[in-house]
Structure 1
């Protein structure tokens, strides 16, 4: 359900979760890790006696996450609120994405023979601890969250800053859109919502365009770049304080499609790029396009 190729889906869930921005930050830092960073992360991983009870709490909390299974046809308002908040993916899907996509470079071998070194496995486990602590923020108690994330926080204080986030050949344009979103004013937000409403009523060609952009990212080896851009978008949407209902109702999809298009703008045909970018340009103007 979650993967770096389908990072917009992960982003859609994170933008609707209270701890979504923090989870996005863990993913972003994970995407920038290098081999030299792994020992420092590994040494901060608590032993199994400490982690075991915490993960029992994680399993219990995961079952309390909002789910569409709770829809009640007799409670329209409650059902709408549930649809707005219920994630598409699961904790297991998040862990799979982190272990096998974000940390894919730490594995050797293929298929059932694939394995990580002891250090890489411990570093990956620490990342997973931090990610679930924020992903399950709404349903985990504060003490469990703190203990799950403590090793990661301590490691981040010691870890070198590392290379800046690379958003590919259109780095500055992607960054300009994210900056524009972070500084939204109330009238900008109104136009953004109106444009999203219009896009939702006129969806023709949108899904194929997003598929084309995602396929272009895959073929051009920009999957990790595109995923990083989506995680930055999660944080920008939070900074802009776009209401949850609007994120769920079309604003996220509109912005996510535009970001995906910008990452591979040089590879898209004109009509595909226009389909994904035009609604955002209509709402925010063209200045950020450069």
Structure 2
């Protein structure tokens, strides 16, 4: 479910879970990595024995992380609970349970964020296991060339994934496990150069919205909550609009820039102090949709721009969109 193309979905999960802002920070920095950074990261990878213990703990943690599927089991867990109590428990679960999974996050990092670290093997014995083994069946086209990562790229990927999972499962892992997972990334990132996040040709508008969201007043928040409530009553028009904006981002080759904007938005929302209940109730969709429209502001049609940007414009004023 997680991918850079669907970064608004990943952002929706990150903005609702404990540790999500930290995950978004790692993702943002990972998007800006260069080949020269891989060796630095690789030097800090924990050894296989340590990682085996840590990932055994992660496996256990994933079994207790709430999911939307748990709603069905609430009545069985407390059959004597009143309808109102079960409804309240279900709402609380839906507000915080992620739509995606740890596996989905790792796949997104390995094959989307770090897609450039994979290269086609020349047929000689690779130094790493292939991404996908070549399989060809009768009547099917030839398989794609096998892609592999270098040892440095594979080790760097491990460091990044460990840090991401430490944040994604923050509420389910103990302090020591989280620290051991995150320490290699923290140590390596201190040696990496600070880079400006690339946000594409509409960067000024994107940064204007990020700055505005990160400094919301109480009155701003109230207007956003009301706009989100109104948006829920017109949710049928939101889905095709966000799809149109995302398609424009894809066609324009701005997937990485638009994803970075979504991850920075997670951090801005966290800074703003918007309650998680409001984020889940529509504020994230409202802000995320506006950010996606801004990423392709020069490409989306007028109807899409109006649907996605209008609520933010009405709530926060034209300065929020860099106007």
Q: TM-score band (shorter)?
A: over 0.9
What stretches of structure 1 of length at least 5 have no aligned partner? none
Deviation of 1:202 (Å): 1.4
Deviation of 1:159 (Å): 1.2
Q: Deviations over 1:186-244 (max 9, x none)?
A: 11100000000001111242111111111111111100001000000000100011111
Structure with higher helix content: 1
The residue number in structure 2 matching 1:117 is 150
2:14 and 2:93 map into 1 onto residues whose CA distance is 15
The residue number in structure 2 matching 1:104 is 115
The residue number in structure 2 matching 1:151 is 184
Deviation of 1:271 (Å): 1.3
The number of equivalent residue pairs is: 289
Deviation of 1:111 (Å): 5.1
The residue number in structure 2 matching 1:191 is 223
Deviation of 1:160 (Å): 1.6
The residue number in structure 2 matching 1:21 is 21
Aligned: 1:131 with 2:142: no
Aligned: 1:280 with 2:274: no
Deviation of 1:286 (Å): 1.2
2:132 and 2:158 map into 1 onto residues whose CA distance is 20
Match of 2:173 among 114, 120, 140: 140
1:271 and 1:70 map into 2 onto residues whose CA distance is 38
The residue number in structure 2 matching 1:52 is 52
Deviation of 1:67 (Å): 1.5
The residue number in structure 1 matching 2:125 is none
Residue pairs, 1:114-263, within 5 angstroms? 114-161=147-194, 163-263=195-295
1:84 and 1:62 map into 2 onto residues whose CA distance is 18
Flag the structure with larger Rg. 2
Q: Classify the secondary structure of the residue corresponding to 1:158.
A: coil
- Structure 1 stretch displaced more, 198-207 or 39-48: 198-207
- TM score, norm. by length of structure 1: 0.98
Poorly superposed stretches of 4+, deviation over 2 Å: 109-112
1:97 and 1:19 map into 2 onto residues whose CA distance is 18
Q: Deviations over 1:83-124 (max 9, x none)?
A: 001100000000000000000000012853111011100000
- Structure 1 stretch displaced more, 137-146 or 167-176: 167-176
